[in-house]
Amino acid sequence: MADGLQIGNFARIDKALRTGQGRGMKLLVAEDEVRLAAFIRKGLEEQGFIVDVCHRGDEALELAMARDYDVLVLDIMMPGRDGLSVLSRLRAAGRAAPALFLSARGEPEERVEGLNAGADDYLAKPFLMDELVARVRALMRRPGGMLVNVLRAGDLTLDLLQREVRRGAETVELTTREFALLACLMRAPGRVFTRTQLCERVWNYHHDPGTNVVDVCVQRLRKKIGDDPAAPLIETLRGTGYRLRKI
């Protein structure tokens, strides 16, 4: 594989990233170059995205079939399975998350092949991270997509694009993890999420029965949104997990 990001660009890209606006939405990055994948992950997380990373095409297919992602960023040439066949399988299975291909090759034929496989965009290496972020944002803004920008539960609103939460007229300041947790619950009101599922979606690791990271975050979130203990929006199901009450 050809080099992705040039070393001399790192400082300039980092500066551009820190001026961006986070979103708290979940992405899958499948890239076999470990160093490049780590840099992409760091850059996207600095923008407020929640990012899963894998380095093989078969792993990407497994993750994208098992989890719901807002955008897929797929390298074309990967071991195990190439990005084209990963996306073709996902589209055949009805998985419609917007997808952006990365590739060291820039031939028009490859771009056409990627678009025919179901890709929404294509970015040739080497690239600037701010361009990748801009293209991901553009995919999220496309009309007719699968994303809803503003989630509502009574007088609680969450704007995914502006990364803003309001309770009535009051703005609620949340951390990236708190925002991602609330977004996860608000996307599926009435659905019960186990602690394991929330750990995978928000913290990107499997739940350790000995940790209370989910419970602590829920407590902080309830306090910040002014949840009424007598009729909470975020309900606890003992021994199971949490759900957002349907209104």
Q: What value, to the nearest 5°, has the Cα angle with vertex 134 and ends 156 and 165?
A: 10
Residue 88 predicted with pLDDT over 70: yes
Q: Which carries the bigger pLDDT value, residue 211 or residue 1?
A: 211
Residue 4 predicted with pLDDT over 50: no
Q: What is the pLDDT of residue 23?
A: 46
Residue 17 predicted with pLDDT over 50: no
Residue 60 predicted with pLDDT over 80: yes
Q: What is the pLDDT of residue 57?
A: 96
**What angle, rounded to 10 degrees, do the helices at 129-141 and 34-46 form?**
60
Q: What is the pLDDT of residue 142?
A: 63
Could you please report the per-residue DSSP string of 156-182? EEEETTTTEEEETTEEE---HHHHHHH
Residue 25, classed as helix, strand or coil, is coil
**What confidence tens digit (pLDDT) does each residue in 149-193 have?**
688 999 999 987 678 899 999 999 999 889 889 988 998 899 999
Quick one: tokens of 219? 């407590």
Q: How confident is the model at residue 7 (pLDDT cuts 50, 70, 90)?
A: very low
**What confidence tens digit (pLDDT) does each residue in 186-218 have?**
988 999 999 888 887 787 666 566 678 999 999
Measure CA of the first residue to CA of the last residue in the chain; give whole Å: 51
**Domain 150-244 grouped into CATH 3.50.50.100:** no
List the CATH code of the domain at 7-141.
3.40.50.2300
**Sheet with 193-194: strands ordered across:** 193-194, 241-244, 234-237
CATH 3.40.50.2300 in the chain is located at 7-141
Q: What is the pLDDT of residue 143?
A: 54
CATH 1.10.10.10 in the chain is located at 150-244
Average pLDDT score over the chain: 82
